[in-house]
Chain A
């Protein structure tokens, strides 16, 4: 056999076979590549068709945002193709609508987010679940925009005067307060346990770099500086109501467009607000109460919400608050010796509430924004 293989004639024959076989293999390879290219082109075409079909489904929903009220999921037919639309309302701060379309076995999904419309209280300058009281010699309180009170306005002290541009008293508490949702699923909302769970959920919604979460029963003093730029939430979590107090002192170092929310299970003491930088806001959420004293000229911009009482005391100079104040148990401007002014300026960005306020429940504008705030191709 080896003798034959070394034979020249035999070698030529083998070479010929080799060449022929190579050509056959290459031809087969090319043929299969072509078939595969064709299949790939088909898949690409189907994928593109499915994508635009899903997009058409989203547009159908934007045209009629009530279409999922009766049926969820809902199938829409366009020509011979079908789109499945479904909604997910499990997130109390937003609705997610997903359109799924399939062509030739290729499925594409597009999801859009519709933020929940903020409660009515965010349209008010001042919302109080209790009374609003003003006391002090020559104390002056001016509130521009809407004031909505579940109690009444009361003033005391020589020369004390309160002026309201648009005030309504004796309103139901639901219209003037915010409620913490039943975040711990025990069947009762607005409890301290709900507040803890709610705040933890909020913290989890943001990236690690955007959040400072401190678990302590001690007092936390914050002297804001430029290193806080980019932070969204500072959550001071105490183990029981009234622990984890926060003092904010000398905050004259705000950066433009800073939008920070401090959440505390205790009381937030905002000592001498000094927010002179425009387009920045400091928002507060406190379980126990909110204190804001100032002895010099002071300004504060942002949304303040306390489950307890908001106290503005020792106002010895002109003091201006711009934004919204919601105090579930009432507002006291005590020992105001100078001039306290509240102005309304929507603290909402593109109709979305500031960090930390997502999901707080109030009455009023039911439903979701008609404009999506987020678009996502789930297939990519």
Chain B
């Protein structure tokens, strides 16, 4: 009889433990899914954030070129009208930007008669000549050099767009 009682107690304890464990497991799973978590610490980006708070993405040349972004070193940057012509043709054609519908629309709005186009380019050439003379007289004048470079870019752009914007 004593042994039977021991056996009864033994099985009872085992079953009770299994039951309680099962119950606890189910209830804990429920709590984890339903009960709200402890509120996270308030965080938002501020201008006081450290400089290197996020690892910077390093863009490859190919990735940048795909977006139409080109880095020109001081040695490779075009300097003369010819270099700018060559560069502008290359980048505008490579990027296929002239083929985009919005670009075509823009070029329609910029349309010029051959006479007006020629006159405009003559004005640009005259201004280039004037600034080249200014720069020759004052080679260290950075402002004049920047404006001359801008004129070279404008002239090169005008040359590339000639076939697209000139219409009788």
A/B pair count, beta carbons within 8 Å: 241
* Residues of B contacting A293 in the complex (Cβ-Cβ under 8 angstroms): 147, 150-151, 154
User: Is B39 touching A379 in the complex (CB atoms < 8 A)?
Assistant: yes
Per-position binary interface string of chain B over residues 91-135, scored 1 when its CB falls under 8 Å from any chain A CB and 0 otherwise: 110011110101101110110100000001001100100000000
Distance in Å: Cβ of A335 to nearest Cβ of chain B: 7
Q: Is the CB of A214 within 8 A of B150?
A: no
- Docked CA distance A208–B57 (Å): 7
CB <8 Å contact, A108 and B97: no
| Contact among A17, A227, A317 for B7, CB-based, below 8 A | A17
Partner of A222 from B31, B49, B69, B110 at Cβ < 8 Å: B69
Indicate with 1 or 0, residue by residue over A309-338, a CB within 8 angstroms of chain B CB atoms.
Answer: 000011011000000000000000001010
Residue from the list B40, B48, B102, B151 in contact with A253, Cβ < 8 A = B102
Given contacts A17-B12, A21-B16, contact A218 B100 (CB under 8 A): no
Interchain CB contact (< 8 A) of A32 among B4, B27, B92 = B27
The 11 sampled A-B contact pairs (Cβ below 8 Å) are A25-B15, A43-B35, A90-B48, A106-B36, A201-B47, A214-B71, A220-B69, A225-B100, A227-B67, A271-B157, A291-B146
Q: By the criterion CB–CB under 8 Å, are B42 and A296 in contact?
A: no
Interface residues of B in 22-36 (CB under 8 A from A): 22-23, 26-27, 30-31, 34-36
Within the complex, the shortest CB–CB distance from B161 to chain A, in Å, comes to 8
Point out the residue from A183, A218, A313, A378 that lies within 8 Å of B71, measured CB to CB.
Answer: A218
A314 touching B154 by the CB < 8 A rule? yes
Contacts of A149-185 to chain B: CB distance below 8 A = 181, 183, 185
On chain B, the residues within 8 Å of A33 by CB distance are 23, 26-27
B59 to chain A, nearest CB (A): 6
Pick from A93, A222, A337: contact of B123, CB under 8 Å: A337
With CB as the reference atom, state the residue of chain B lying closest to A295.
B154
Using known A-B contacts A25-B18, A204-B49, A252-B103, determine if residue A228 contacts B120 with beta carbons closer than 8 Å.
no
Q: Closest CB of chain B to A323's CB: distance in Å?
A: 18
Mask, A224-236, CB within 8 Å of B = 1, is: 1111100100100
Q: In this assembly, does A107 line the interface, its C-beta being within 8 Å of a C-beta of chain B?
A: yes
**Complex Cα spacing A295 to B105, Å:** 18
Which residues of the other chain, A, contact B88 by a CB distance below 8 angstroms? 249
- Given the known interface contacts A92-B47, A252-B100, A272-B154, the answer about A221 and B31 at a Cβ–Cβ threshold of 8 Å is no
Residue positions of A touching B, CB distance < 8 A = 1, 4, 10, 13-14, 17-18, 21-22, 24-26, 28-29, 32-33, 36, 40, 43-44, 47, 88, 90-94, 96, 98, 100, 106-109, 111, 113, 181, 183, 185, 197-198, 200-201, 203-205, 208, 211-216, 218-228, 231, 234, 247, 249-250, 252-255, 267, 269, 271-272, 274, 276-277, 291, 293-297, 313-314, 316-317, 335, 337, 358-359, 378-380
* CB within 8 Å for A276 and B106 given contacts A40-B30, A204-B45: yes
Task: Kindly state whether residue B82 has any CB partner on chain A within 8 Å.
Answer: no
Within 8 A of A (CB), among B131-153: 146-147, 150-151, 153
What 10 pairs across the A-B complex have the smallest Cβ distances? A25-B19, A252-B106, A223-B68, A252-B103, A91-B46, A29-B23, A225-B68, A36-B27, A21-B15, A227-B67
Q: Report Cα–Cα, A40/B151, bound state, in Å.
A: 74
Contact yes or no, B16 A335, CB < 8 A: no
A276 close to B72 (CB less than 8 A): no
Q: Which residue of A lies closest to B143 (CB)?
A: A311
Q: Distance in Å from the Cβ of B150 to the closest Cβ of chain A?
A: 5
Residue ID in chain B nearest A270 by CB atoms: B150
Q: Which of A17, A215, A231, A378 has the most CB of B within 10 A?
A: A17
Residues of A within 8 A of B154 (CB): 271-272, 293-295, 314
> Given that A227-B66, A295-B124 are contacting pairs, would A25 and B46 also be in contact in the complex, using a CB cutoff of 8 Å?
no
A204-B49, A296-B120, A296-B158 given as contacts; is B16 within 8 A of A24 (CB)?
Answer: yes
The residue from A26, A94, A197, A234 contacting B51, defined by CB atoms under 8 A apart: A197
Given contacts A91-B46, A314-B124, 17 further A-B contacts (CB under 8 A): A17-B11, A21-B8, A25-B15, A44-B34, A91-B45, A108-B36, A218-B73, A219-B71, A219-B74, A222-B68, A223-B68, A227-B66, A252-B100, A271-B157, A272-B157, A291-B146, A297-B110
B153 contacts A247, CB within 8 Å? yes
| Complex contacts, B23 vs chain A, CB 8 Å | 28-29, 32-33
